[in-house]
Structures are given as C-alpha cells and as structure tokens.
Amino acid sequence: MRIATWNVNSIRARADRVGAWLDRSDADVLAIQELKCKDDQFPEEVFTSRGYQVAFHGLNQWNGVAIASRVGLDDVTFGFEDVPGFGEEGDVEARAISAVCDGVRVYSLYVPNGRDLGHPHYEYKLRWLEALRLDAAAQLAGDDELGIALCGDFNIAPHDDDVWDMAAFEGSTHVSVPERAAFQSLLDAGFDDVVRPHTPGPGVYTYWDYTQLSFPKKRGMRIDFVLASSALSRRTASARIDREERKGKGASDHAPVIVDFS
DNA sequence: ATGGCCAGAGAATCTGGA
C-alpha cells in the first residue's frame, strides 16, 4: 500500500496539479493539508473521477485537511480526542482528520504553526501536539499492534540537519527545544519516522519558502512526516520525497512525501 | 531546467504562512 502526505497550500489553486500527481504517483492513500476552502468548495471530482473516495474537513479559508483513498475509507473521524481550539472563542480548527484505509488508521494532520516563540499560537501548538500524543498513545494502549500512520505537516524540524542553516533559525519556531521535545514524545509513544531512513540528509527537505529563491538555493526544511506505529513501521518497504513536484509555476511550497508498505 | 512569494477575502490592503 502506497501512502502519501502533501500540504497542497490550497486544494482549489492546486486541483490540476493534485490530479496530475495522483495519476503519476500511483498513491493508494493521500493525506492532504491546507485545503484553504470550506467543505462546499472542495473539488471532489478531482478524486472521485480517478476512483478515489475522499473525506474532507474545511471550515473557512484557513487550514483544512482531507484523506483520499482507493483502498477503502472507513470510520472517518474529524479531529481527535480533546483536540484544543484557538482564539477568543476557543474554536476547534480543521487541522485533523483520520480514516481507516485497508486496515490502517491514516491521519492527515496540520499542526499549528506557532507563529513566534511566546505567541499564544505557540502555546496552542504545544497543547495540540500533547493532545495528539495522548490520543495516539491511548489507541496503542488498547492494542499495540494497531497500524496507525500519523501523516502531515508537523511544522517542526526535529534535528539541526532538517533546516539549511541553524543560524538562520535563531529564536524562531519550528526548531525550539519544546517543539522538538513534543515531536520526540510522539516517537516515544510508539511511532517511527519511516521516511528518514530512506532519505538520509543533510540537505533533504520537504518544504521550501516561496521567497528569496529558496528552492533553487536549496534552502528548505524537513517538516512533513509519516510517523508509523511499530506494527506498520515494520512493513515499510521504501520512501521518498517528490522534490520534482516543487518545481515549476503553480507548485505548492511543500513536496509530497510517499511511503510504500508491504 | 529550478529563478527575486503565494492564496483567500474582498475591493485596498490585510491575514497567515514558516
């Protein structure tokens, strides 16, 4: 089974590229982040016309997550247990969706950005990650042989090799000790980064800023991951980052990440 | 080829991204 994750940065602006990518990637399951549209604006036909079922969750022009699958899409769940909200109303945002695809519970996750160290959004990010860890750990506590794939844009560069220059990130989010500790806590709960062993660094990234010629200058970040539970991790056959998809006019600023499971 | 931001809302810039 081929599972991919991709922050598309607007599903409507990227509809043609996403369709073309599905055609050539041969992905069975695609976890999508940053839809940037409401449910009634979601272009379902991009997926249904190609034989995929699709579940999506979008509330406004921000965030939004979806899962497309051609190997079953069962028990669709929006959010997760005790997912925190943000803002004056504490509204829960559209940052998580999951479904069972061919026996694997696949999550599509768009972790809050954090904005700046000390910003309320940063505390929100850490709370959100802790709630995700508790949800995932609780599932594995019931059955540690469950196949779970936590896919998405984690907005964390876990290691110094995951950014082009640590000096450029002095005092920034994405590389702070608490964020990296939150990411490590997810791994400690029973998950493996199944992509890194197949895409060793340094200089291997999943995101390049639109500004400052970041992509041609190879100034990127590795912030998109597939974290697999132990039972699923053991089935990893190969993984890759589709850097080609970042090229050309109309590309997302993130590249798709693909994993093949036996 | 891989090139000095992009998308959405809404109607001039502003929010958010990272």
What does the pLDDT read at residue A88? 78
CATH superfamily for domain A2-261 = Endonuclease/exonuclease/phosphatase (3.60.10.10)
Q: Name residues whose C-beta falls within 8 Å of residue A262's C-beta, 6 or more positions apart in sequence.
A: A235, A236, A237
Spatial distance from the CA of A61 to the C1' of B12 (Å): 19
Tokens read off for A239: 């993984």
What does the pLDDT read at residue A209? 96
**Considering only residues 33-72 of protein chain A, which place a Cβ less than 7 A from any atom of strand B?**
34, 36-38, 41, 60-62
What span, in angstroms and rounded, lies between the C-alpha atoms of A28 and A55?
A: 14
Q: What does each of the 262 residues of chain A score in pLDDT, given as a tens digit?
A: 999 999 999 999 999 999 999 999 999 999 999 999 999 999 999 999 999 999 999 999 999 999 999 999 999 999 999 999 998 778 899 999 999 999 999 999 999 999 999 999 999 999 999 999 999 999 999 999 999 999 999 999 999 999 999 999 999 999 999 999 999 999 999 999 999 999 999 999 999 999 999 999 999 999 999 999 999 999 999 999 999 999 999 999 999 999 999 9
Q: Answer yes or no: is A249 CB < 7 A from strand B.
A: yes
Q: Which nucleotides of B are covered by protein (CB under 7 A)?
A: 1-9, 16-18
Whether the CB-CB separation of A125 and A112 falls below 8 Å is answered with: yes
| Of residues A145, A52, A138, the one with CA closest to residue A104 | A145
Nearest nucleotide to A247 (CA to C1') is: B2
Q: Which residues pair with A207 in a beta bridge?
A: A221, A254
- Domain parsing of chain A, residue ranges: 2-261
